Chain A
C-alpha cells in the first residue's frame, strides 16, 4: 500500500522539491499551499504523514497542526514540520502544537525520507 504524504508549503520551489524527493521514494504526494488549504485537502484525503512548513500565509504551520490535532480522526496522524534552522524554540513550539517531529531545511532527500519512515507505520 503506497503511503500518502500531504505536504503543506507556500513555496512552489519547496513543494516541488518535496514532491520530487517523496515520489522518488515511492510515496504518493498530495499538496497544499497553506494551512487553510491544507485543512481543505484533509477533508478529502487521509494522508499517512503530513509535512508542513511553519511560515505560511492565511494559516501558519502552528495553527494548522493545532487544527489537525483537534480533529479526532487526525490526532494520530504523524506531522513533521519543516524548519529552516535547528531552532530549539521553534521546535518546542511546533511540538507544543502537536508536531510529531521535524525536518530541517535545506533537507536532503535521504534525511527527508528517513524522517517520514521514523514516524510512519
Chain B
C-alpha cells in the first residue's frame, strides 16, 4: 500500500478514537466536570483531527474543526464559560465533526451549508465572550472569531519570515526588491540564540545556500580567559552575500533567531539607506559598494597597517583582507570544512575570485565553537535508539490473527487426536508419555486462550456510539434521557463486538421510544422528568452479559397480549405467563407502537434483534416490572471460535450440544414421559411438564432400535422456557473448535456448526433453539410463537 494511504487509514482510525474521547470529555463537562485536563483533552481531540485533516487536504473537515477548536480554545483559556447551553452545542458540533470524518473517509465532503447553523451557534458563544471579556482579551483573541473565514488559507503554509518583533526590523518593511549586488549582513547573536540551541555556523551555512558568502568575524569582544562567561555571546559577523535575492529570502534564513540577535541588512549597490544607519555603517556601505574591486584588491598583500583607518571599527575591505590571510593559513588543514560553504555556491564565484568562501566560513567555525553557549555541532555517536521506544501496543493485520487462531484450533484437534491414540494404544495413564500429553494439553489450552485474547476487545467501541444515538432519539421523541454505561472495559471477541452494534442500537432506540415515558407523564407518575437508560456489560460464567435497562413504564402486558391476538400470533383464550407475554415482543412482525414511529420503526422489529443475537450464539431475555421499567439482557459467548460442548450420540451420529444451554441432564423413568397428540410428548420434571423432543427424530436420523429410553438433556430454549432433548448417550464434555458448516458445506436446519473431534471425525454442533422450533413446526400444537430463525 502507498505509505500515505496507510497513514490516511491510520488517521481515520485515530479519528474514531479522538471522536470518542471528544464525546466522553464533552459528556463529562455536561455532567459538571470542570477539570482543566478534561477541557484540554477535548481541545486536543479536535485539534488533532484538524491537524491530520490538514495534512490530507480535507478542507471541509479542517474548516469545521477550526471553528470548533476556536470555541474550545476559548473554554480552555477561561474566556468562555462551559455552560450547559454551550456544551449542548458542542456535543452537536462533535456529532457534526464525526459526520465530516465519515464523509471524508468515504471520499466525499459534506456541504459547507450544513455547518452553518452550528458554526453560527459556536460563534455566538465566542462573540459574546469576546465582547464581554474584551478588556483582558489576549492579543490573539481578537482574531479568533475571524479566523474562521481564513480556515482554508491556513492549511497552506508559506514560510514568510515573521516580523512580529519590531525591535529588530531595522530595515523598513517596504517591498524589498532583490538586491542585484547582494547583501551585507551584520549579525550579532544574543546569548539567547545559543541557549535555544541555534548555532551561528548553521545560520551562515544556510545563508551560503543562497549564494557565495564571505564572512568577517568580529571577535574583539572576546575577553581574557579569567573574565570569560561561558554563557555569553562574544562574537559577531559581517557577512557579504553575493546573490541577487530578496530581503525576505535573507531574513528567512534568520527566521528562527529573529529577536535573538542583532541583524541589519543592507543591499549592496543600492542607494537607499536604512534610517538607522550610523556613521560607521555608512563608511562600510561605501567601502563595499564596488564588490568586484575588493575582490580584485584582496589578494594583494594584506597589510595590517590598513587596519589603522578606523581602530574601533575596521573597514570591511581590510577585514576581508585579513580574513583572507587567515584563510590561507587554515585552508589546507581545514579543507574538510569545505562542505560548510556548500561547494556549489563557492564554485559559482568567478575563478579569479581570490577569497575562497569555504575558508572564510571555516574560519568562523573554530572561533564560534569557542563560544561556550554554542552547541558543539557533532552529537556523539550512540547506539541505535530503536529499543528506546517501548511500544506497548502493536497493530497486526486481522487476517494474521485469524490464521493463528485457525492454526491453534488445528493444534487443539491434533493434540486431542494424539491423546486418543495414545489412550487407545493402551499406554498407562501414569506413564511418562501420558503425563507429557497432559502437559501438552494444558499448554495447548493456554495457547488457545491467549490467542483468543488477542481478538478480544473492550465493548467500549460499541458503547461509545450510543450517547449520540440517545441524544438523537431523545431529541426526536422530546424525551429527557440520560444514558449510563457500565463495564465498558469488558472484553469480548472483535466479531461479536462488530455485530453487536446494530442490535444494541435498535434496543436502545426501542427503550427510549417505547420504554420511557415523556417528561410530563413521568412527573405525573412521581418519577424524575429525566429517564435513565442503563447500558452495562459484565462477564458472567464464561459469557458476556449486556443489559439495556430503562426506568420507564414497563411492558403493558394486556396491550401486548391484545396486539398478539389481533395479529394472530396467539389464540384469544391462550393462557400465558407474564414471561411468555413479555417474550411476545420478539415475535416476528410484532410492534407495540400503535403507529410505526420514525425511530424504532424502520421496518425492524425485536425479532430481528433476537435473530442477530442468536446468530452470534447468544440469548436475549427480557424482564419487566410494570411502572418501573424493562431490562433486556443479552448473553453472548466471549468467542466465536471455541465452544464448550457436551458430546452426545444420536443414532450413529456424534453431536455436540453447547453446554451453555444445558440446565441439567437426567435419565427419565418411562412413567414420566407422556404422549401429547400424535407425535408430541412431554416429560414431567419435578411437577411441571416440558416438551420432550427426540433429537434423532427432529433431525430425521434413522431411529436406533437399541436406543432405549436414552438420556435427556434439559435445555433452556430461546424464550427462556425449558425443553427436554432426548439423545442416546452422553460421551463427555469438551471444548471444541467451531468450524463453519455454511462455509464448508451448506446450511443445515437444526445444526449450528461443526467441529472435528479427537478421533478425526466431524461432529455437528446442535442449534438447540432451531431444533425446538423445528419440533414445534411439525407438531400439531397450536403455535404460540416464533418460527425457525
Chain B residues lying within 8 Å of A95, measured Cβ to Cβ, are 196, 259-260
Of listed A20, A48, A100, A102, residue having the most chain B CB within 10 A:
A100
With a CB–CB cut-off of 8 A, which chain A residues contact B37?
Answer: 57
Interface string of A70-84 (1 = CB under 8 A from B): 000001111100001
Whether B55 pairs with A105 at a CB distance below 8 angstroms is: yes
Chain A: interface size category:
35 or more
In the complex where A78-B375, A121-B202, A121-B377 touch, is A46 in contact with B47 (Cβ < 8 A)? no
How far, in angstroms, from A56 to B44 measured CA to CA in the complex?
Answer: 7
Contact A13 B7 (CB under 8 A): yes
A84 touches B164 (CB 8 A): no
By the criterion CB–CB under 8 Å, are B385 and A119 in contact?
no
Residues 41-69 of chain A: 1 if any B CB is under 8 Å from the residue's CB, otherwise 0?
A: 10011111000000111000000000001
Q: Which of B107-115, B151-159, B324-332, B663-671 contacts A (4 or more CB under 8 A)?
A: B151-159
Closest chain-A Cβ to B691's Cβ sits at a distance in Å of: 56
CB distance from B71 to the nearest CB of A (A): 15
B255 in the interface, Cβ–Cβ < 8 Å? Answer: yes
Q: How far is the CA of A31 from the CA of B193 in the complex (A)?
A: 26
Alpha-carbon distance A41/B387, docked complex (angstroms)? 9
Interface residue? B382 (CB, 8 A): yes
Q: A84–B197 contact, CB under 8 A?
A: no
Whether B305 sits at the interface, judged by CB under 8 Å, is no
B256 within 8 A of partner (CB): yes
A12 contacts which chain B residues (CB < 8 A)? Answer: 10, 13-14
State which of A1, A76, A106 has its C-beta within 8 Å of the C-beta of B197: A76
Residue numbers in B under 8 Å from A78 (CB-CB): 197-198, 375
B461 to nearest A CB, angstroms? 16
Pick the contact of A106 from B155, B198, B375 — CB < 8 Å? B155
Say how far B760's CB is from chain A's closest CB, in angstroms. 46
Alpha-carbon gap, A89 to B138, bound state (A): 10
Q: Does A104 contact B (CB under 8 A)?
A: yes
Across chains A and B, the number of contacting residue pairs, with CB separation under 8 Å, is 150
Tell me, in angstroms, the Cα distance from A17 to B11 when the chains sit together. Answer: 10
A35 within 8 A of B: no
Q: Does the CB pair A41–B388 fall under 8 Å? A: yes
Task: Give, as a whole number of angstroms, the nearest-CB distance from A61 to chain B.
Answer: 12
List, in ascending order, chain A residues with CB within 8 A of B381's CB.
1
Q: Is B553 positioned at the interface, with any CB of A under 8 Å from its CB?
A: no
The chain A residue sitting closest to B21, CB to CB, is A57
- Decide if B162 is an interface residue (CB 8 Å cutoff): yes
Knowing A85-B154, A86-B157 are in contact, say whether A100-B197 is a contact too (CB < 8 A): yes
| Given contact pairs A78-B197, A118-B206, A13 touches B386 in the complex (Cβ within 8 A) | no
- CA distance in complex: A89, B52 (Å): 22
Which of B139, B198, B380 is packed against the most chain A CB atoms within 10 Å? Answer: B198
Q: Is the CB of B7 within 8 A of A11?
A: no
The answer to whether A46 touches B382 (Cβ under 8 A) is yes
- Residue of A14, A41, A55, A79 touching B385 (CB-CB under 8 A): A41
A-contact bits for B32-43, CB 8 A (1 contact / 0 none): 000001001101
Chain B: minimal CB distance from A90 (Å): 8
Q: In the complex, are the beta carbons of A119 and B256 less than 8 A apart?
A: yes
A42 to chain B, nearest CB (A): 8
> In B240-268, which residues have CB < 8 Å from any A CB?
255-256, 259-260
B154 proximity list for chain A (CB < 8 A): 84-86
For B51, the chain A residues whose CB sits under 8 A away are 11, 13-14, 84, 105-106
- Chain B: minimal CB distance from A108 (Å): 8
B157 in contact with A121 (CB, 8 Å): no
Q: Digit string of A90-106 for contact with B (CB within 8 Å is 1, else 0)?
A: 01100100111110111
Interface flag for B279 (CB, 8 Å) = no
User: Which residues of B lie under 8 Å from residue A30 when comparing CB positions?
Assistant: 385-386, 388-389
Which of B50, B202, B255, B379 is A84 in contact with, Cβ under 8 Å? Answer: B50
Q: Check if B55 sits within 8 Å of A45, measured CB to CB.
A: no
Contacts of A1 in B (CB 8 A): 381
Residue pair A100, B379 in contact (C-beta under 8 Å): no
B54 at the interface (CB under 8 A from A): yes
Would you give the shortest CB distance from A38 to chain B, in whole angstroms? 10
Set B138, B157, B206: member contacting A104, Cβ < 8 A = B157
Q: Digit string of B188-204 for contact with A (CB within 8 Å is 1, else 0)?
A: 00000001111100100
Q: Is there contact, CB below 8 Å, between A11 and B162? A: no
A88-B51 Cα distance, complex, nearest whole Å: 18
Chain A residue with Cβ nearest B260: A95
State A1–B383 Cα separation when bound (angstroms).
Answer: 11
Query: Is B221 in the interface zone, CB < 8 Å from A?
Result: no
* Closest-CB distance, A68 to chain B (whole angstroms): 9
User: In the complex, what residues of A have CB within 8 A of residue B139's CB?
Assistant: 89
CB of B382 within 8 A of CB of A106, answer no
A111 to B157, CA, bound (A): 10
Show 6 residue pairs from A and B whose CB-CB distance is below 8 angstroms, ordered by the A residue: A4-B382, A11-B48, A13-B11, A14-B52, A41-B388, A89-B138
Q: A11-B52, A13-B52, A30-B385 are in contact. List 16 more A-B contacts (CB 8 A).
A: A4-B382, A11-B51, A13-B48, A13-B55, A16-B10, A47-B385, A78-B375, A85-B147, A86-B154, A86-B157, A87-B140, A95-B196, A118-B202, A118-B256, A119-B199, A121-B378
Q: Give the top 5 A-B pairs by smallest Cβ distance, nearest first.
A: A76-B375, A121-B377, A101-B256, A45-B385, A106-B54
